[in-house]
Structures are given as structure tokens and as C-alpha cells.
Structure 1
């Protein structure tokens, strides 16, 4: 993964759901195909691209140095925040353990 705050990446997850509705991860693609084969596929990918652009671009659509690059919760669309980089940075600067020799990090949501 790129570790540049001026970049973003989109990953494609291939999942199979079995007869008991249990999901199984097949693979993760670093460059997922955005071509569509059906109307539902086209709608899903259109919403994906729309949500990504809402997150990475400022509300007026023109990025500049004054934009704080933190999207509002309503701009996240159907995405969920999995890791908070500010909390992760704080965790890395202050080592703490949970009494069992393991880090008690709060960075994961």
C-alpha cells in the first residue's frame, strides 16, 4: 500500500458466499476492474466512484492547500472508517500495553 497522504488506493475484494451465507475471501485485487457487465454492476461501480470522489475531493471540487482533507461524515457515503490515522500516530508515539505484553491500540474502529 502507498504511504503517501496525497494518494489513495482502491482495492477489489472477491468474495464467495456459501449455502449457509458464510462469506469467503477469495482474493484482494490492487487494481480492480471498473468495467461493468450488467446494469447492477454498472450501478454499484458508479456509486463506488462517486463515493471515492466525494471523499478525496473538497466539497467545491477544487483542492488547495487550505482544505484540511478531512471529509465530513455525510461525505463518506457507504464507506466505513476502519483505521483512524491520527489515533494510530498517537499510539505509535506513546507505547502502552494491556498488561499482557500486547499493545492496547484504539486505532481500529
Structure 2
């Protein structure tokens, strides 16, 4: 499984905090779905590309839930929070609603995390 990490910078000053991500050439997934201007510019994605994007998102969520030393439960999955790089690989963003759990905690105890 290909794991694609996003490098980012964390900046803060007093109560203002920012995460700075690498530039994503193809903006967010919701722009590809809902922005009519992109549909008229031959930016439609083939079914194979859409499948690969969905699979990449699923693999990313699985990595967060099962593949890290500390489990990350991500509660804000939506097209607005998925960015596409130059190769249309999805990048999950906006971890503001996420919760961290130790890997020794059971899935059942995490079910009431929200």
C-alpha cells in the first residue's frame, strides 16, 4: 500500500493557529464535484480516477484508524476536506473534530467518542 504523507507547518501567535499545507494543484474534491466552471473546461474525471480517489480516501482513513501508534478518529469526512494533488491523489485535511485514542483501547470504547 502506498502511503503518501503530507508535510505541513504549524504556526501560532497568541490565540491564532494555522496549518500550512503543500500547494494542491487540483483544489478540493468538492470543487470538482460542484463547480460548474470546471465541468466546462474538460476537467471531468473518468470512473477509474473517481474509484482511485475513493480508494485513496478509504486507505487514508484506515491508516488513521488502524495504522498509527495513536489512533486518529476522523469525524469530518466530506468532499470539502479532501484535497487533490497534481496526480489526483487525495489528501485528507481539517482534523479539528478528530479524536486521539491509544491503540490498546477497544473499538467499542471508541464508539461513543463523539
Q: TM-score range by the shorter chain?
A: under 0.3
More helix by share: 2
Question: TM-score, normalising length from structure 2?
Answer: 0.27
More strand by share: 2
- Select the structure of larger CA radius of gyration: 1
Question: TM-score, normalising length from structure 1?
Answer: 0.28
Greater length-normalized contact order (CA 8 Å, ≥ 6 residues apart): 2
